[in-house]
Amino acid sequence: MKILVINGPNINMLGVREPDIYGKSTYNDLIDLIKNYAKEIDVNVSFFQSNHEGALVDEIQKAYFDKIDGIVINPAAYTHTSVALLDALKSVNIPAVEVHISDVSKREDFRQISYVRNYCFKTICGLGFDGYLRAIDALKEKING
Protein backbone atom coordinates (compact mmCIF):
# COMPACT_ATOMS: atom_id res chain seq x y z
CA MET A 1 0.00 0.00 0.00
CA LYS A 2 1.37 3.37 -1.07
CA ILE A 3 0.43 6.44 0.95
CA LEU A 4 1.43 10.01 0.13
CA VAL A 5 1.58 12.61 2.92
CA ILE A 6 1.14 16.15 1.58
CA ASN A 7 1.75 19.27 3.66
CA GLY A 8 1.02 22.82 2.61
CA PRO A 9 2.55 26.22 3.34
CA ASN A 10 4.54 26.92 6.50
CA ILE A 11 4.44 23.32 7.70
CA ASN A 12 8.20 23.28 6.95
CA MET A 13 8.45 25.91 9.72
CA LEU A 14 7.16 23.60 12.45
CA GLY A 15 9.20 24.03 15.63
CA VAL A 16 9.72 27.71 14.80
CA ARG A 17 6.21 28.92 13.93
CA GLU A 18 3.79 29.62 16.78
CA PRO A 19 5.04 26.82 19.07
CA ASP A 20 2.16 27.48 21.49
CA ILE A 21 -0.20 26.31 18.73
CA TYR A 22 1.86 23.82 16.70
CA GLY A 23 4.38 22.58 19.28
CA LYS A 24 8.16 22.60 19.40
CA SER A 25 8.84 19.60 17.20
CA THR A 26 10.10 20.17 13.67
CA TYR A 27 8.94 19.06 10.22
CA ASN A 28 11.77 16.51 10.21
CA ASP A 29 10.51 15.15 13.55
CA LEU A 30 7.08 14.76 11.93
CA ILE A 31 8.56 12.88 8.98
CA ASP A 32 10.53 10.57 11.30
CA LEU A 33 7.42 9.85 13.39
CA ILE A 34 5.37 8.94 10.31
CA LYS A 35 8.20 6.91 8.71
CA ASN A 36 8.67 4.82 11.86
CA TYR A 37 4.94 4.19 12.19
CA ALA A 38 4.57 3.29 8.51
CA LYS A 39 7.42 0.79 8.83
CA GLU A 40 5.75 -0.79 11.87
CA ILE A 41 2.46 -1.32 10.05
CA ASP A 42 4.07 -2.18 6.71
CA VAL A 43 2.90 0.80 4.68
CA ASN A 44 5.00 2.47 1.96
CA VAL A 45 4.94 6.19 2.70
CA SER A 46 6.22 9.18 0.71
CA PHE A 47 6.21 12.89 1.53
CA PHE A 48 5.69 16.22 -0.18
CA GLN A 49 5.66 19.73 1.29
CA SER A 50 5.31 22.98 -0.60
CA ASN A 51 4.50 26.61 0.06
CA HIS A 52 3.03 26.90 -3.47
CA GLU A 53 -0.54 26.03 -4.37
CA GLY A 54 0.26 24.95 -7.94
CA ALA A 55 3.04 22.64 -6.77
CA LEU A 56 0.56 20.96 -4.43
CA VAL A 57 -1.91 20.54 -7.32
CA ASP A 58 0.89 19.04 -9.46
CA GLU A 59 1.78 16.57 -6.71
CA ILE A 60 -1.84 15.44 -6.31
CA GLN A 61 -2.05 14.86 -10.07
CA LYS A 62 1.28 12.97 -10.00
CA ALA A 63 -0.19 10.67 -7.31
CA TYR A 64 -2.57 9.31 -9.96
CA PHE A 65 0.26 8.34 -12.32
CA ASP A 66 2.35 6.98 -9.41
CA LYS A 67 -0.57 4.72 -8.45
CA ILE A 68 -0.77 6.09 -4.90
CA ASP A 69 -3.48 4.26 -2.88
CA GLY A 70 -4.23 6.96 -0.30
CA ILE A 71 -3.45 10.59 0.47
CA VAL A 72 -3.02 12.28 3.86
CA ILE A 73 -3.28 16.01 3.31
CA ASN A 74 -2.74 18.99 5.56
CA PRO A 75 -3.29 21.85 3.10
CA ALA A 76 -2.49 24.34 5.92
CA ALA A 77 -3.71 27.85 4.96
CA TYR A 78 -4.85 26.58 1.54
CA THR A 79 -7.49 24.55 3.39
CA HIS A 80 -9.48 27.73 3.75
CA THR A 81 -8.99 29.18 0.26
CA SER A 82 -8.24 26.56 -2.37
CA VAL A 83 -10.85 25.24 -4.76
CA ALA A 84 -7.89 24.12 -6.93
CA LEU A 85 -6.78 21.58 -4.30
CA LEU A 86 -10.34 20.31 -3.94
CA ASP A 87 -10.65 19.91 -7.72
CA ALA A 88 -7.25 18.15 -7.91
CA LEU A 89 -8.37 15.60 -5.29
CA LYS A 90 -11.64 15.08 -7.16
CA SER A 91 -9.71 14.64 -10.42
CA VAL A 92 -7.50 11.81 -9.17
CA ASN A 93 -10.25 10.19 -7.07
CA ILE A 94 -7.79 8.72 -4.55
CA PRO A 95 -9.12 8.23 -0.98
CA ALA A 96 -7.91 11.12 1.18
CA VAL A 97 -7.93 12.22 4.82
CA GLU A 98 -7.65 15.87 5.87
CA VAL A 99 -5.39 16.51 8.88
CA HIS A 100 -4.80 19.60 11.01
CA ILE A 101 -2.30 19.71 13.84
CA SER A 102 -4.34 22.31 15.72
CA ASP A 103 -8.05 22.17 16.46
CA VAL A 104 -9.22 24.53 13.72
CA SER A 105 -12.82 24.29 14.96
CA LYS A 106 -11.81 26.32 18.04
CA ARG A 107 -9.87 29.00 16.08
CA GLU A 108 -10.71 32.07 13.97
CA ASP A 109 -13.83 32.27 11.79
CA PHE A 110 -11.75 32.25 8.60
CA ARG A 111 -10.43 28.79 9.54
CA GLN A 112 -13.95 27.31 9.71
CA ILE A 113 -14.16 26.85 5.94
CA SER A 114 -12.42 23.87 4.41
CA TYR A 115 -12.69 23.25 0.68
CA VAL A 116 -10.91 19.88 0.68
CA ARG A 117 -13.35 18.62 3.33
CA ASN A 118 -15.92 18.33 0.53
CA TYR A 119 -13.80 15.51 -0.87
CA CYS A 120 -11.94 13.90 2.06
CA PHE A 121 -13.76 10.97 3.68
CA LYS A 122 -12.41 11.95 7.12
CA THR A 123 -11.03 15.01 8.91
CA ILE A 124 -8.73 14.83 11.94
CA CYS A 125 -8.06 18.03 13.93
CA GLY A 126 -6.29 18.90 17.12
CA LEU A 127 -4.39 15.65 17.75
CA GLY A 128 -1.00 17.20 17.00
CA PHE A 129 1.37 14.99 14.99
CA ASP A 130 -0.57 11.86 16.00
CA GLY A 131 -3.34 13.03 13.68
CA TYR A 132 -1.20 11.95 10.71
CA LEU A 133 -0.85 8.43 12.16
CA ARG A 134 -4.59 8.16 12.75
CA ALA A 135 -5.13 9.30 9.15
CA ILE A 136 -2.90 6.48 7.91
CA ASP A 137 -4.92 4.02 10.04
CA ALA A 138 -8.15 5.33 8.51
CA LEU A 139 -6.77 5.00 4.96
CA LYS A 140 -5.52 1.48 5.65
CA GLU A 141 -8.93 0.45 6.92
CA LYS A 142 -10.72 2.10 3.98
CA ILE A 143 -8.41 0.61 1.34
CA ASN A 144 -8.25 -2.90 2.83
CA GLY A 145 -12.00 -2.91 3.40
Residues marked as catalytic: 22, 100
5 touching ligand DQA, by CB under 6 A? no
Q: Mapping DSSP to helix (H, G, I), strand (E, B) and coil, where does residue 120 land?
A: coil
Stretch in the footprint of ligand DQA (CB under 6 A) among 37-45, 47-55, 74-82, 132-140: 74-82
- Nearest to ligand DQA of 1, 127 (CB atom): 127
82 touching ligand DQA, by CB under 6 A? no
In 3-state terms the chain splits into helix, strand, coil percentages (rounded to 5) of 50, 20, 30
Spatial strand order in the sheet of 122-125: 44-49, 2-7, 70-74, 96-100, 122-125
- Exactly one of 4, 5, 45, 104 binds ligand DQA (CB under 6 A); which one? 104
76 touching ligand DQA, by CB under 6 A? yes
Stretch in the footprint of ligand DQA (CB under 6 A) among 33-41, 69-77, 115-123, 137-145: 69-77
- Exactly one of 82, 100, 120, 136 binds ligand DQA (CB under 6 A); which one? 100
Measured in whole angstroms, how far is the alpha carbon of residue 131 from the centre of its chain? 9
**Cβ-contact 29, 19 below 8 angstroms:** no
- Nearest to ligand DQA of 46, 102 (CB atom): 102
The total of other beta-carbon atoms located within 10 Å of residue 80's CB is 17
50 touching ligand DQA, by CB under 6 A? no
- What is the DSSP annotation of 32-101? HHHHHHHHHTT-EEEEEE-S-HHHHHHHHHHHHHTT--EEEEE-GGGGGT-HHHHHHHHHHT--EEEEES
Provide the minimum distance between the beta carbon of 17 and ligand DQA in the complex, in angstroms, as a whole number: 8
Residues that bind ligand DQA (CB under 6 A): 10, 74, 76-77, 79, 100-102, 104, 111
